Structure 1
Amino acid sequence: MTSGPPAPPAYASTSLANVLPAVARSIGSGRYAGVPDLGLAPARRAVVVLVDGLGDVLLRRRSGHAPFLRSHLGSALRLDCGFPSTTATSMGSFGTGLPPGQHGLVGYEVLDPDQDRVFNELSWENGPNPTAWQPLPTVFEQVATEGVGVTRIGPGFFDGSGLTTAALRGGRFQAARELDDRVVTAVTAVRSDPRALVYLYWGDLDKVGHVNGCGSWEWGDELESVDRALARLAASVPGDTAVHVTADHGMVDVPHLRRTDLAHEPVLLTGVRHVGGEPRSVQLYCEPGAAEDVLATWRTAMGRGAWVLGRDEAVRAGWFGEVADRVRPRIGDVVAMMRGEHAVVHTGRTRPELLRLIGLHGSVSVDERAVPLVSIGARDG
């Protein structure tokens, strides 16, 4: 008998979904006047930086590589990115200010019920129309209607991509490749409008963590580069501008010997129509009438390696927040949340470069779920 999973996210108060609404409130948005303010001081303009993979536990553990961020950790908040702790879901929560059960981006690989096939919400390859999949307005769209100059900065291939369109549409997009170029672009953008909300994304820390591990020296080196860039950004923005730094998830290093391989465990695929999710957070879509048997089989097989819930159980517990009717079928009939250093892979269906990854995320540990909100207030009152 295993203990139950930790408490689900507090989506309404202390989650990543609260960041952009709180920032919008801090710069005077009437649409978000009643949302939790997260303690953010008023400012005329704001830059929000999302560093992919910069978990709060990791930042504090490796803060020797980040003197600028470390100097602000005393006032920083620890937020919950939500479940699953994966980029596509977190971007939906961040961009809309809503929980996954409302915006509908409920995992890395999820079922499109209309097509009866699983697609990747990060790459969006062969995915549905993104605005039909996620029809609710984003925070960027909302504040742009109030006359705020909204600029989103990232790699060029993000512009018009499925995930960007679904989760982060609104305002204008400006492409910049290197981090230093994105900082310069952000400073120029925030100076170009007396009321501005600028969003800057950086993804290399996550990439380094996946390939080398979040405990590696390479991860520390990349954090040093990010920290220097953030210090330059904060020193370069106008005095009436606040800078806020957050992340979409954390990460854990998972030894390859701790991974269950579905290619060698055929019993775990009995009654399973589709496998979704990712190695740390598996979602199983079952054949009609098979869900209860699949749930029982996985609970027995996983033991202390995972918390295994049925869809109804996961929804009732609040892991996805309030779940809309259109979203419910996208959630797996069975949801497996990995514990400790465990993961589930399928060597017969997964590209070798993905199987080699060391750093993983998606589950419910504090290392994966906790993200920072580091705020550098406007210098001018």
Structure 2
Amino acid sequence: MTFEARLAAVGLDKPDYGGRELGAVLPAALAAVGAGHAVRSRNADADRSRLEIPRAKHVIVAVVDGLGHQQLDARRGHAPFLRSMVSGSITAGFPTTTATSLAMFGTGEPSGRTGMAGYSVRNPRTGQLANLVSWEGAYRAEEWQPRPSLLEEAAREGLTVTTLGQARFAGSGLTQAALRGGSFIGAERLADRVDVAAGVAGRPGVSYLYWGEIDKVGHHHGWGSGEWVAALEDADAEFKRLARSLPKDAVLVITADHGMLDVTGAPRWDVADEPALSQDIALVAGEQRAVHLYLDQGTDPDAVVARWQDVLGTHAAVGTREDVAAAGLIGPLDDAVSDRFGDVIVAMAGRATVVDSRTQSPQSLQLIGVHGSLTPEELQVPLLTIVPD
């Protein structure tokens, strides 16, 4: 069975690259304010038309970490404002994880171009794990992620560009890799970010607002929890307040970087305890739902694929790096960043996970909500648009 056939057989979908996908959102927003020419990697005007982003003087794009389309739909009664917005869904890229998605959002390009291959990957210069969220173990961000930042390109063209996030993220490795450019304003609470966003919306430009609380709560309590619902209700109220504060020539767009699954009680394999999985593996990286396997020198990747597929069965689709690229999961794979991806890559199905207790922290092994793979729950994210009356 081919890798593509395995994907379909276990219920995994593909990102809609070049269509309704996360990489189109920022280009569409730039086109909406007349700055589509700053986007050189794709047709920003076509993205704007496809995503139906109206022309405006200012566009605020909010990325709500972990707010999947299916999770929002299941809890829509707790989000009356978001439910009232002009809504649809788009796909994230692969893996469905924050570092990959923010780079895709910030550059308009998938992970095969950016090299932002997951939560953790092997640093090709050291052979050790690099964390692409904390940036621990990685090298200089602008070298790691070589594609142009759309915010930087737009600011260079003279557009007012504002990023709103926690102050500690200003100049961080992930910010520099994915979202460098423009002015960064640190604001800890969502209410504070909303106040700033409302204030700058009267000037021509684009603002990017990030909110991570829903993802944080989902990891620790699960998206089906009361805590997750409370976080959604808080976000809904603040975005409603932002919408009411916007001038008439501004547009608010809300999307997300990935969805989430609760995995308590689901099948789980620990590489540390499974000789058939640890054999010939030099390093395990990625995340519980999208695993990168870096092999011992001289190991046949196809043999590892066959062995892992036999162990995981219908709970995963396992393929070589080349299989994954040929299937279109990571977009075109640039030679310059191909060594960031595992020799073998595992996309988990259902709610199953693979961990490696030799390298993962006890806290990460206890997470309830996780993501990374290509189920609709992880891949589909909302695209919500509101234009003030």
Q: By how many angstroms is 1:7 displaced?
A: 4.1
Q: Give 1:59 deviation, angstroms.
A: 0.6
- Structure 2 length as normaliser, TM-score? 0.93
Higher alpha-carbon deviation: 136-145 or 53-62: 136-145
Contact kept, 8 Å, 2:246 with 2:388, in 1: the verdict is no
From 320, 325, 328, the equivalent of 2:330 is 320
CA distance in 2, matches of 1:362, 1:321: 16
Match of 2:282 among 263, 273, 278: 273
Q: Which moved more, 1:331-340 or 1:137-146?
A: 137-146
CA deviation profile, 1:15-62 (whole Å, cap 9, x unmatched): 100000001111111414544211111101011111000000111111
Q: What one-letter code is carried by the residue in structure 2 that aligns with 1:120?
A: N
- Structure 1: how far apart are the matches of 2:45 and 2:246? 27
Please give the alpha-carbon distance, in whole angstroms, between the structure 1 residues aligned to 2:326 and 2:124.
Answer: 21
Secondary structure of 1:36's aligned partner: helix
Q: Residue 191 of structure 2 corresponds to which residue in structure 1?
A: 180
User: Does the CA-based 8 Å contact 1:311-1:335 persist in structure 2?
Assistant: yes
What is the distance in 2 between the residues matched to 1:128 and 1:177?
27
Matches within 5 A, 1:240-319: 240-256=249-265, 258-290=267-299, 291-319=301-329
Shift of residue 378 of structure 1? Answer: 4.6
Q: Which residue matches 1:23?
A: 29
Task: Quote the offset at 1:111 in angstroms.
Answer: 1.7
Find the residue that maps to 1:327 and give its secondary structure: helix
Match in the other structure for 2:62: 49
1:14 aligns with 2:20: yes
Equivalent position of 1:64 in the other structure: 77
Over the residues paired in the alignment, what is the CA RMSD in angstroms?
Answer: 1.4
Render the CA deviation track for 1:230-285: whole Å, top value 9, x for unaligned: 00001112111100000000000002552111221122111111111110111101
Which of 72, 75, 84 is the aligned partner of 2:95? 84
Residue number in structure 2 paired with 1:338: 348
Contact kept, 8 Å, 2:64 with 2:257, in 1: the verdict is yes
Q: Deviations over 1:204-233 (max 9, x none)?
A: 000100000011111111100000000000
Does the aligned pair in 2 maintain the 1:21–1:35 contact within 8 Å? no
**Stretch of structure 1 that moved more, 27-36 or 370-379:** 27-36
Q: Work out the CA distance in 1 between the residues paired with 2:297 and 2:329.
A: 24
Helix, strand or coil: the match of 1:12? coil
Q: Give the letter for the 2:269 counterpart.
A: T
Q: Secondary structure at the match of 1:110?
A: strand
Contact 1:43 1:378 in 2 (8 A): no
Letter in 2 for 1:40: I
For 1:205, the equivalent position in structure 2 comes to 214
Q: Secondary structure at the match of 2:207?
A: strand
How far apart, in 1, do the equivalents of 2:84 and 2:116 lie? Answer: 35
Letter in 2 for 1:22: A
Q: Quick check: 213-222 or 347-356, which moved more?
A: 347-356
Distance 2:24 2:94 in 1: 15
- Cα distance in 2 for partners of 1:348, 1:4 equals 29
**SS class of match (1:22):** helix
**Whole-angstrom distance in 1 between the partners of 2:384 and 2:163:** 19
Are 2:108 and 2:150, in contact at CA under 8 Å, matched by a contact in 1? yes
Displacement of 1:95 = 0.5
Note the C-alpha offset of 1:118: 2.0
SS for the counterpart of 2:230 is helix
Mapped partners of 1:4, 1:292: distance in 2: 15
Name the stretch that deviates more: 361-370 or 264-273: 264-273
Structure 2 spans left out of the alignment, 5+ residues = none
Report Cα offsets for 1:103-129 as digits up to 9, x if no partner: 110111112212222211011012110
* In structure 2, distance between residues paired with 1:237 and 1:36: 24
Contact 2:266 2:351 in 1 (8 A): no
For the residues of structure 2 that align with 1:137 and 1:244, how far apart are their CA atoms?
Answer: 22
- Name the structure 2 match of 1:98: 109
Partners of 1:295 and 1:110 in 2: how far apart?
A: 19
Matches of 1:110 and 1:138 in 2, distance apart? 21
Structure 2 letter corresponding to 1:224? E
Q: Runs of 5+ in structure 1 lacking a partner?
A: none
Segment drifting more, 30-39 vs 115-124: 30-39
Write the distance in 1 (CA, Å) between the matches of 2:357 and 2:282. Answer: 18
1:141 and 2:152 are equivalent in the alignment: yes
Secondary structure of 1:348's match?
coil
Distance between the aligned counterparts of 2:337 and 2:197, measured in 1? 35
Structure 1 position 348, deviation (Å): 3.4
Amino acid at match of 2:313: G
> What secondary structure is seen at the aligned counterpart in 2 of 1:76?
strand
Under a length normalisation based on structure 1, what TM-score does the superposition of the two structures give? 0.95
